[in-house]
Amino acid sequence: MIKLYTKRLIIRDHIFEDLLTHHELLSDNISMKYLPDIKTKNIKESEDNLLKAIEETKLEDRKLYFFRMENKIIQEYIGEIGYTVKKNTPFGKIVDLGYFTKEKYWNKGYTTEAVKRIIGYAFEENNVYKITAGCLKENIGSEKVMKKCGMIKESEFKEHTLHEGKLKDRVEYRLLKKEWKKV
């Protein structure tokens, strides 16, 4: 089991006992506003999502590194963070980073703290060469996290992603291992 620590957080692989809090977040309309493809409609969908994450931890050629974020002191569930391996190259893995948190933890620095730790883990311990991340342009909080973590804006796509019945702008960021070492 992967377990990472920051000043305030424990970031770890999931266990089945996480189901109720996992469902609470995945089914929340506010926290999942920008992730309708991941939002669940019932506990069965949340359980399927959780079991997939748990099963992935057992694979030798793991592609999904999805983790639970908890407050280290009171062990309260904060949210989710992780990445998907998109490609293996001779230089290392290329991964796509994502994160989402309970609304009560927005604008408190938890996500930035977790992203920095995940970036460190990816580059130092998991042979990652390049990390990409993106969000809808209107999701200002998510874009701020990417900037605070030293990620570099690569592109802005106009009217690119269908969301809430409209085509919305999307921004994409990246960080190469050699760029991270300079941050």
Q: What is the pLDDT of residues 36-84, one digit of tens each?
A: 999 999 999 999 999 999 999 999 999 999 999 999 998 899 999 999 9
pTM of this prediction exceeds 0.85: yes
Higher-scoring residue by pLDDT: 73, 118: 118
The burial class, CB within 10 Å (0-12 / 13-18 / 19+), for 105 is middle
- So what's the pLDDT on residue 182? 76
- So what's the pLDDT on residue 183? 66
Smallest Cα–Cα separation from 143: which of 167, 171, 110, 180? 171
Residue 162 has pLDDT above 80, yes or no: yes
Write the class of the CATH domain 3-180.
Answer: alpha beta
Q: Are 80 and 67 in contact (CB under 8 A)?
A: yes
Residue 109 has pLDDT above 80, yes or no: yes
Which residue ranges make up each domain of the chain? 3-180
Q: What percentage of the chain exceeds 70 in pLDDT?
A: 99
Measure the CA–CA gap between 11 and 4, rounded to whole angstroms. 5
